[in-house]
Structures are given as C-alpha cells and as structure tokens.
C-alpha cells in the first residue's frame, strides 16, 4: 500500500441524539468536537440523528412523525392555491 493516501482509522464516539445513546467504534470520520469516554481518554465525537438505538427497525417501536399539513405548507410556501374543479 502507498503511504499517505489512506485516511486515519481511529476510535470515534458516535452519539445518537434521538435516543441519547453513545457508542464507540472505529472509523475514518473526524470531528472538531471531543468527548472523554469511560476509559478516561479523549475521542472525536460524531453526532447522528438516528442509529440502531432509535431506528424503528431495530427497536420494534414506531415513532409518530407529524406529517399532517405538509402539502399545505408546500403550497403556501410557493403560493400555490388549490385548484377547484
């Protein structure tokens, strides 16, 4: 393998903000944010919206997302009136 062409592979902490769950794994991702893990060492912190801790497929629980009025909001945003037949 050539030197200097591969990204650094390191331990990283991912924080799922939806479930308030953190886990450490290895990744090539980097972040300016840091967190002190349970072992006392500091690792880059990557925040994610969803992980296996909050995804309905893995948890078996369905989260209700308010989807009512999305079409109306879109029409209002772009000044589209409902066409009446």
Full-model pTM: 0.62
Q: What is the pLDDT of residues 3-16, one digit of tens each?
A: 889 889 999 999 98
Instruction: Identify the band that residue 28 occupies on the pLDDT scale cut at 50, 70 and 90.
Output: very high
Mean pLDDT on 18-31:
91
Q: Percent of the chain scored above 70 by pLDDT?
A: 75
For the chain, the structural domain boundaries read 10-77
Residues in the chain: 85
Q: For the residues of the chain, what is the DSSP string, one character each? A: --TT-SPP-EEEEEEETTTTEEEEEEES---S-EEE-TTS-EEEEEEES--TTT-HHHH--PPP---TTHHHHHHHHTTPPPPP-
Average per-residue pLDDT for the chain: 81
Q: What is the pLDDT of residues 45-72, one digit of tens each?
A: 999 887 777 766 656 676 555 555 677 7
In this structure, how many other beta carbons lie within 10 angstroms of the beta carbon of residue 27?
Answer: 16
């Amino acid at each position: 393998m050539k030197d200097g062409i591969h990204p650094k592979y390191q331990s990283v902490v991912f924080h799922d903000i939806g479930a308030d769950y953190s886990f450490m794994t290895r990744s090539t991702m980097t972040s300016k944010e840091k967190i002190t893990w349970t072992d006392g060492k500091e690792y880059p912190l990557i925040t994610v919206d969803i992980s296996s801790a909050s995804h309905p497929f893995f948890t078996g629980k369905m989260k209700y997302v308010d989807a009512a009025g999305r079409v109306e909001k879109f029409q209002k945003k772009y000044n589209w009136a409902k066409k009446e037949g």
